[in-house]
């Protein structure tokens, strides 16, 4: 039986040289060629990405409609954007990148309605993953402002001072507030009277089953 000489075939895809029997090499080349053809067909049928022009809601909406949708005025949005603009700067200028105001508006719309990200993406003509990333980025930027606007007491003296200032403010405002109470609790609560400025605090159950109680600040003699 005549021995079949081994031949070398070069792959159509990556240029690799395969050596072996003639039949096995031919089958390998045919298989790789079919895979290459399928890959080229997928490239031809792949959906072409379209860059659509986004609407500028900050300028298109009037003050009333803008506040209805984003829960903040245009002045507040502009001020917020200035506070966090350095944290919203994009690393690239390609692919119709979102500006800082658009990022803030996307996050505010999400905060206002807590709706599906896809619906918000359709409103701003962006993708759903973009909305997800923007909300995360803007939320972190806003949270970083906490030390500039909220001060937590760090020692007992500051705690006492904060309690005193809060009590004085509540007494001057003559507030009436309410809170829910556990229905299983039968013990009536009482608060100590606050001295000074002619005000006192009272807390009384309004029903026998302890459904709720009322906390109020009233002026003596009224």
Query: 59-90, pLDDT tens digit by residue?
Result: 999 999 999 999 999 999 999 999 999 999 88
Q: 118, 69 in Cβ contact below 8 A?
A: no
Q: Are 106 and 135 in contact (CB under 8 A)?
A: yes
Residues 6+ apart with CB under 8 A from 131: 106, 110, 117, 118, 120, 121, 124
- Output the pLDDT for position 222: 40
| Residue 209, pLDDT score | 47
Which 3-state string (H, E, C) describes 109-138? HHHHHCCCHHHHHHHHCCCHHHHHHHHHHH
Per-residue model confidence (pLDDT) at position 160 = 87
* Beta strands across the sheet bearing 212-219: 176-180, 212-219, 199-205
Does the CA dihedral 20-26-29-30 come out positive or negative?
A: negative
Q: Which residues of the chain have pLDDT under 70?
A: 1-25, 28-29, 43-51, 172-222
């Amino acid at each position: 039986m005549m021995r079949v000489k081994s031949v070398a075939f070069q792959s159509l895809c990556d240029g690799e040289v395969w050596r072996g029997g003639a039949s096995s090499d031919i089958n390998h080349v045919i298989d790789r060629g079919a895979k290459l053809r399928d890959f080229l067909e997928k490239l031809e049928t792949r959906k072409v990405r379209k860059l659509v022009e986004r609407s500028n809601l900050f300028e298109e909406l009037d003050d009333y409609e803008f506040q209805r949708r984003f829960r903040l005025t245009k002045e507040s949005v502009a001020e917020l954007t200035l506070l966090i603009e350095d944290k919203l700067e994009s690393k690239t200028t390609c692919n119709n990148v979102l500006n800082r105001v658009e990022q803030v508006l996307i996050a505010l719309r999400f905060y206002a309605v807590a709706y599906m990200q896809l619906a918000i993406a359709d409103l701003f003509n962006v993708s759903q993953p973009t909305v997800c990333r923007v909300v995360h980025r803007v939320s972190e930027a806003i949270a970083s402002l906490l030390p500039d606007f909220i001060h937590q007491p760090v020692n007992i003296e500051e705690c006492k001072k904060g309690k005193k200032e809060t009590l004085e403010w509540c007494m001057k405002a003559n507030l009436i507030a309410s809170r829910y109470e556990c229905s299983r609790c039968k013990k009536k609560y009482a608060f100590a009277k606050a001295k000074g400025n002619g005000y006192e605090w009272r807390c009384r159950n309004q029903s026998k089953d302890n459904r709720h109680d009322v906390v109020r600040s009233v002026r003596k003699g009224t």
